[in-house]
A and B are shown apart, each in its own frame.
Chain A
Amino acid sequence: MLLIRRSHRGIHPPENKNTSKIAISRLDDFDTLSIPLDMQIGPGCTPLVAKGDTVLVGQRIGEPMGGWSVPVHSSVSGTVERVKKEIMSDGDVVEYVTIKNDHKYLVSPDVKPPLINNRDDFINALRDSGLVGLGGAAFPTFVKQNPPPDKEIDLLIINAAECEPFITSDHRIMLERADEVIAGCMVTASWLGVKEVIIGIEDNKPDVVKPLEEAIKAYHRGGAEADIEIKISMLPTLYPTGAEKVLINKLTGRVVPMEGLPADIGVIVQNVTTIAFIANYLKTGLPLIRRVITLDGSAIAHPGNYDVPVGAHIEDVIKAAGGTITKPGKIIMGGPMMGKAIDELTRPILLHNNAILALSEEDAILPKEIACILCGECVRACPMILQPTSLDKAARRLDVDTLEKEYVLNCIECGCCSYVCPSKRYLVQNIIIGKGLVRAAQKKGEVD
């Protein structure tokens, strides 16, 4: 059963889309790159190379461990310096392949456009390309594009909301690679067997409409996929429009059931940069080894959009882009609302990093929380219609029953509650712990 019910909640933090007018520029010539063999949701890879091996651009260096796993490729040519387990910022221990760049950029002979004759070929090509959701979630695309046969998919939604402050990489991709975006929509929709594609965009990017519409016209002039309709839908700028469940709801009114997936209501959502990559891969066969990041934040000297190889060290990228104007106090991978703070400047750029933000030490100061005054701001802000203050308190007293009863697992961790809280309480932070408590209790069979 489809439920129609719309949520219009959310927040409007300062947009800070300072880099939306700055064209993508390519950064290369990094001497050393570290490529983790697990950047995705699901199991990672086992190394295919060892110390001293020579690698080429696009060469597979990590072999999928099966299931949801996608291969990892080298982004440069050079020599493997070491293959070693290291602790990532989030505490995971992951195998890193460190490559010394020979600056020759010799492309592997394996890089050639895939031959696709049927749907299975398409899904396999998606896996071989190493593609994961590039909007930040890193969910393997081939898994998403291959929903269980009992789910009837009738709509492909392209997530181009880019609702996080600062980030403009999707915006620039739509402006500069509109033809790839549209080609990606067409080919994906066609293999998915859907006739309708909606590109959901926040209305702070009105300039993308024209290039996208022209690209649609140009594509249809070619005569292919004439029966697939692509709609461009402008949505009010209101974080978190780009959260999958929120975007589906705003565009269609359909509601993803709690603990369910978009496929349950006939929808597949892909990020716009992910979609553009699909078109490029089918044309060139070049796997996912580079990506566009927005580099911004109060400590950055030259904010902009940079096309960088995966594995480049953040420190080197910042240097290559003109350095900092003040000592960074915090480095965020992703946006300021949901991005992860990292512990070392030597960490590499990952597949799904849409932004690197360097905040000044002043902007990195954490607010001190005081008592909740029950003002209800968090309740009014929550796009999932939860009561964050109640969940926060329940999580702090380890009250699994209340957490479960008040739908804590439906929290999408967007952070609106913590953002609006006038008492500066660490709401979403505790609610995430609460989700963990419920999951642990469910595993033990204490709650249903």
Chain B
Amino acid sequence: MLRVSASPHIRSPRTTRAIMLDVIIALIPAMFAAFFIFGPRSLAIIAVSVAASVLTEALCNLAMKRDQSIGDLTAVVTGLLLAYGLPASLPLWMAALGAIVAIGAAKMLFGGLGDNFANPAITGRIFLAVSFGSSMSNSVVLGRVAKTGLSPDLIGQATALTNAGDMDLVSQATPLAVAREMVEGDIPDSLTLFLGNHAGMIGEVSVLALLIGALWLLLRGVIDLWIPSTMIVSTVLLCWVAGGDPLMHLMSGGLIIGAFFMATDYVTSPITAKGKIIFGIGCGLLTFLMRMYSGMPEGVSFAILIMNILTPHINNWTKPVTMGGEAHAS
């Protein structure tokens, strides 16, 4: 029996699963950084978030009578990215709930992979931030790191977190919250910001670890630089013009992870280079506005979410004219 099918008869070996595996590999350095900075509890958050994401997707597929899709690894990526935006002190059930919202509500209810309009990890994180504000803004670092990197004053104010069950943990203000004078504290120096030994969300703090991952994604051709470069440059430039410290804005909060790992999400970002530039600048502008003028210290998540919503429109505005179609277009 000969098989008959329409051409092409060969396909590139690259698969969606392999692309997602590359994203997972790119997120591993940040996982190591999280372990060193926040201790084993950060790994527990990551594990719960990933497990809840995959389980939610599997159950949704069963309930919706769809082909099982967890093999494409996109749920693992969502679980990782969600966990990276959570504080190490967050109760584990909250991490699980965030994952259920991310996959169940933001992804599967909209039709699953490819049909979600908003980045699931960002949606899950915003859901948690809105629902459990104080738990989400509680930022902790391991005591030994804090002792070397922080003023005695802050260590004195530090509260051991009961739910963490670890007396080595101290709470500390995030640099952006300090910069906005929402809380008292010192902004760590640039090197500390770069390495990540400071308060923040578990996967966001180490710029070094994230950049290693971003480099992997660029080398493997998973992402290009249009969105990250325009988003980072516009955020930092605008914050600097408005009187902020450019290095601090570059290296703190979710800018690096947001620009390289969240805003570049294929499904929820524009397709063409022109569209990506508009999207990146939009993300940068909104991040700047929220960081400088909103009631929150951080704006990356909301900025990306809003631009996610605009993505279909950006795609419509930036549709290319086909070769030789000029006469038709006019």
Query: What's the nearest-Cβ distance from chain A to residue B226, in Å?
Result: 11
Q: A343: nearest residue on chain B (CB-CB)?
A: B4
Docked pose: A418 CA to B29 CA in angstroms: 34
Residues in B whose Cβ lies below 8 Å from that of A364: 3, 9
Cβ 8 A contact of A373, one of B2, B7, B113, B321: B113
Quick check: which of A48-56, A116-124, A195-203, A332-340 contacts chain B, the rest being far away?
A332-340
Q: Is the CB of A341 within 8 A of B9?
A: yes
Interface residues of B in 218-239 (CB under 8 A from A): none
B67 to A, closest residue via Cβ: A370
Q: Give the residues in chain A near B115, CB-CB below 8 Å.
A: 371
Residue B114, interface by CB 8 Å: yes
- B72 interface hit (Cβ, 8 Å): yes
Report A165 CB to chain B, min CB distance, Å.
7
- Given A249-B323, A255-B324, A256-B324, check contact A330 B9 (CB 8 Å): yes
Q: Is A344 an interface residue (CB 8 A)?
A: yes
Tell whether, in the assembled complex, residue B10 and residue A385 are in contact, meaning their CB atoms are under 8 Å apart.
Answer: no
Stretch at the interface among A32-40, A178-186, A302-310, A419-427: A419-427
A376, B271: Cβ atoms under 8 Å?
Answer: yes
Assembly CA distance A385 to B323 (angstroms): 6
A350-396 residues with Cβ-Cβ distance < 8 A to B are 357, 359, 364, 366-367, 370-376, 379, 383-387, 389
B272 within 8 A of A: yes
Number of A-B contacts (CB under 8 A): 155
Contacts of A385 in B (CB 8 A): 320-323
User: What residues of B have a CB within 8 angstroms of the CB of A375 in the complex?
Assistant: 16, 19, 266
Which B18-40 residues have C-beta < 8 A from chain A? 18-19
A258 within 8 A of B: yes
Asked if A424 contacts B322 (CB within 8 A), the reply is no
Are B113 and A370 closer than 8 Å at their CB atoms? yes
* B274 to A: closest C-beta gap in Å: 12
The reply to whether the CB of A252 lies closer than 8 angstroms to some CB of chain B is no
Are A257 and B11 closer than 8 Å at their CB atoms? no
Q: Is A258's CB under 8 angstroms from B325's CB?
A: yes
Chain A residue at smallest Cβ distance from B275: A376
Contacts of A374 in B (CB 8 A): 114, 266-267, 271
Tell me whether A81 is interfacial, beta carbon within 8 Å.
Answer: no
**Complexed CA–CA distance, A11 and B271 (Å):** 18
Question: Per a CB cutoff under 8 Å, which of A245, A337, A343, A376 touches B8?
Answer: A337
Asked if residues B2 and A340 are in contact (CB atoms below 8 Å), the reply is no
Q: Does B12 contact A (CB under 8 A)?
A: yes
Minimum C-beta distance from B116 to chain A (A): 10
B266 near A376 (CB under 8 angstroms)?
A: yes
State A11–B11 Cα separation when bound (angstroms): 11
Which chain A residues (300-350) contact chain B, with CB distance < 8 Å?
Answer: 328-332, 336-345
> Which residues in chain B, 293-330, are within 8 Å of chain A measured between CB atoms?
319-328
Please classify how large the interface on chain B is, using the bins under 10, 10 to 19, 20 to 34, 35 or more: 35 or more
Q: Decide yes or no whether A242 CB sits under 8 A from chain B.
A: no
- Does B18 contact A329, Cβ atoms closer than 8 Å? no
Q: Is the C-beta of A442 less than 8 angstroms from some C-beta in chain B?
A: no
- Interface flag for A7 (CB, 8 Å): yes
Please report the C-alpha to C-alpha distance between residue A341 and residue B5 in the assembled complex, in whole angstroms. Answer: 6
Q: Does B69 contact A (CB under 8 A)?
A: yes
Q: Is A429 an interface residue (CB 8 A)?
A: yes
- The verdict on A25 contacting chain B, using a C-beta distance below 8 Å, is no
Let me know if A258 and B16 touch, CB within 8 A: no
The answer, among A406, A415, A422, for a CB contact under 8 Å with B7, is: A415
Most buried by A among B15, B323, B327: B323
Q: A258-B328, A370-B16, A420-B12 are in contact. Are A379 and B271 (CB under 8 A)?
A: yes
- Is A429 touching B6 in the complex (CB atoms < 8 A)? yes
Compute how far the CA of A415 lies from the CA of B8 in the bound complex, rounded to whole angstroms: 6
For chain A, the bracket of interface size reads 35 or more
Closest B residue to A347 by CB, please name it: B2
CB distance from B220 to the nearest CB of A (A): 12
Q: Is A440 an interface residue (CB 8 A)?
A: no
Q: Which of A245, A260, A329, A423 contacts B16 (CB 8 A)?
A: A423
Q: Are A410 and B12 in contact (CB under 8 A)?
A: no
Which residues does chain A contribute within 8 Å of B8, judged by CB atoms?
Answer: 336-338, 415, 418-419, 428
The interface residues of chain B lying within 8 Å CB-to-CB of A429 are 6
Contact of B2 among A255, A341, A407 (CB under 8 A): A341
Residues from chain B with Cβ under 8 Å of A339 in the complex = 7, 9
Give a binary string over A416-448; 1 marks a CB under 8 Å from any B CB, 0 the rest: 001111111010110010000000000000000
Chain A 255-297 interface 0/1 with B at a Cβ cutoff of 8 Å (1 = within): 1111010000000000000000000000000000000000000
Report the bound CA distance from A374 to B308 in whole Å.
Answer: 13
Cβ of A13 within 8 Å of any chain B Cβ, yes or no, is: yes
Asked if B244 is an interface residue, CB under 8 A from chain A, the answer is: no
CA distance A406 to B113 in the complex (A): 24
Write the chain B residue with the least CB distance to A256. Answer: B324
Chain B 106-126 residues near chain A, CB threshold 8 A: 112-115
What residue of chain A has the Cβ atom nearest to residue B9's Cβ?
A336
A137 contacts the other chain (CB 8 A): no
- Subset of 30 A-B contacts with CB under 8 Å: A14-B10, A89-B4, A255-B323, A256-B324, A258-B324, A330-B9, A332-B9, A336-B7, A337-B8, A337-B10, A339-B7, A341-B3, A357-B9, A364-B9, A367-B11, A372-B114, A373-B74, A373-B113, A374-B271, A376-B266, A383-B323, A384-B324, A385-B320, A386-B322, A410-B323, A418-B11, A420-B14, A422-B18, A428-B6, A429-B6
Which residues of chain A have a CB within 8 Å of any CB of chain B? Answer: 3, 5, 7, 11, 13-14, 89, 165, 245, 249, 255-258, 260, 328-332, 336-345, 357, 359, 364, 366-367, 370-376, 379, 383-387, 389, 406-407, 410, 413, 415, 418-424, 426, 428-429, 432
State the B residues within 8 Å of A (CB): 2-12, 14-16, 18-19, 69, 72, 74, 112-115, 266-267, 271-272, 319-328
Q: Which 9 residue pairs spanning A and B have beta carbons closest together? A: A415-B8, A371-B114, A407-B322, A376-B271, A371-B113, A336-B10, A336-B9, A375-B266, A364-B3
